[in-house]
Amino acid sequence: MDPKPEDMAEVFRTRRIGFGRCLEPTMQCDQPAIRAHSIQNRQTIALLEQDNHVLAWQPRFSQAGPDVALRRIGRNDASTFAGFCNQHDTELFRPLDTKALDAADREQLFLLAYRGITCELHAIMTGVVQLQSLYTARVERGADSPDSSSPAGQKAVEQMLLSWATWRYRHSYYDEPLLRRSFEGVEHEVLDLNDQAPCLAASSFITVKDVPINEELVGVAINILPVSETRTVAAFSYAKKDQGSIRAALDRILGSTGDTQRYELSKLVLSRISNVLISPRHFDQWSEERKKKIADAFVRTVESQQDVGEDADFMLF
Q: CB-wise, 87 or 149, nearer to Zn ion?
A: 87
Q: Does 24 bind Zn ion (CB under 5 A)?
A: yes
The stretch among 30-38, 44-52, 62-70, 103-111 that binds Zn ion (CB under 5 A) is 30-38
The one-letter code for the residue type at 314 is F
Q: CB-wise, 20 or 280, nearer to Zn ion?
A: 20
All residues at 6 or more sequence positions from 311 whose CB lies less than 8 Å from its CB, including other chains: 293, 297
CA distance 149 to 262: 45
How far CA 298 is from CA of 195, 232, 307, in Å, comes to 27, 22, 10
For the CB of residue 301, give the shortest distance to Zn ion in the complex, in Å. Answer: 34
Q: Are 269 and 317 in contact (CB under 8 A)?
A: no
CA distance 246 to 255: 13
What is the CA 237 to chain-centroid distance, rounded? 13
CA distance 43 to 99: 9
Q: CB-wise, 31 or 150, nearer to Zn ion?
A: 31
From 12, 31, 150, 313, residue interacting with Zn ion (rule: CB under 5 A): 31
Adjacent-strand bridge partners of 219? 207
Q: Does 88 bind Zn ion (CB under 5 A)?
A: yes
For the CB of residue 308, give the shortest distance to Zn ion in the complex, in Å. Answer: 37
For the CB of residue 36, give the shortest distance to Zn ion in the complex, in Å. Answer: 10
Q: Does 29 bind Zn ion (CB under 5 A)?
A: yes
For the CB of residue 31, give the shortest distance to Zn ion in the complex, in Å. Answer: 4
From 56, 82, 85, 124, residue interacting with Zn ion (rule: CB under 5 A): 85
Helix axes 151-170, 106-140, angle to 10 degrees: 160
The one-letter code for the residue type at 43 is Q
From 11, 22, 55, 316, residue interacting with Zn ion (rule: CB under 5 A): 22
Q: Does 36 bind Zn ion (CB under 5 A)?
A: no
Contact positions vs Zn ion (CB under 5 A): 22, 24, 29, 31, 85, 88
